[in-house]
Amino acid sequence: MRLSRRELCILFSVVFGIVIPFMLYKYTICTEIKTSKTSLQTELSNSMFKLYNSYKIRLFHYQTTVRCNDTLLAADPFRSAVYTQGSDTIYPGDYIRFYVVLYNGYGKPMITGGDHLRARLFNESLKAYIPGIILDHENGTYTVTFQVFWIGKAKLEVEVLYTKEIIATVIRLKRFWDFSDIFATFSFMDHKDKTRCGPNYETVVRSSSTYKVCNFSYWHKSMRWFCARPNGILLCKHWVSIYRNWENFTNGINECEDELSKRDQTTIPSNITIQILPHTTKGKRKIMLGEHYKPCVRYNTSELWFKDNPTGYFYHD
Tens of pLDDT, residues 134-178: 999 999 999 999 988 889 999 999 999 999 999 888 888 777 666
Q: How far apart are CA 261 and CA 26, in angstroms?
A: 24
Q: Region 28-32: what's the mean pLDDT?
A: 33
Closest CA to 262 of 169, 184, 178: 169
CA 221 from chain centre, in angstroms, equals: 18
Contacts 24+ apart (CB under 8 A), 7-11: 7/162, 7/166, 7/170, 7/261, 9/161, 10/116, 10/161, 10/162, 10/166, 10/167, 10/170, 11/170, 11/174
- Per the prediction, the chain carries an average pLDDT of 77
CA 307 from chain centre, in angstroms, equals: 12
The domains found in the chain, sorted by start residue, are 5-173+253-313 (2.60.40.10), 179-244 (no CATH)
Residue 266: how many CB atoms within 10 A of its CB?
16
pTM for this structure? 0.65
Q: How far apart are CA 147 and CA 213, in angstroms?
A: 43
The one-letter amino acid code at 293 reads: Y
Q: How confident is the model at residue 19 (pLDDT cuts 50, 70, 90)?
A: very low
Tens of pLDDT, residues 169-193: 888 877 766 666 789 999 999 899 9
Q: How confident is the model at residue 311 (pLDDT cuts 50, 70, 90)?
A: low
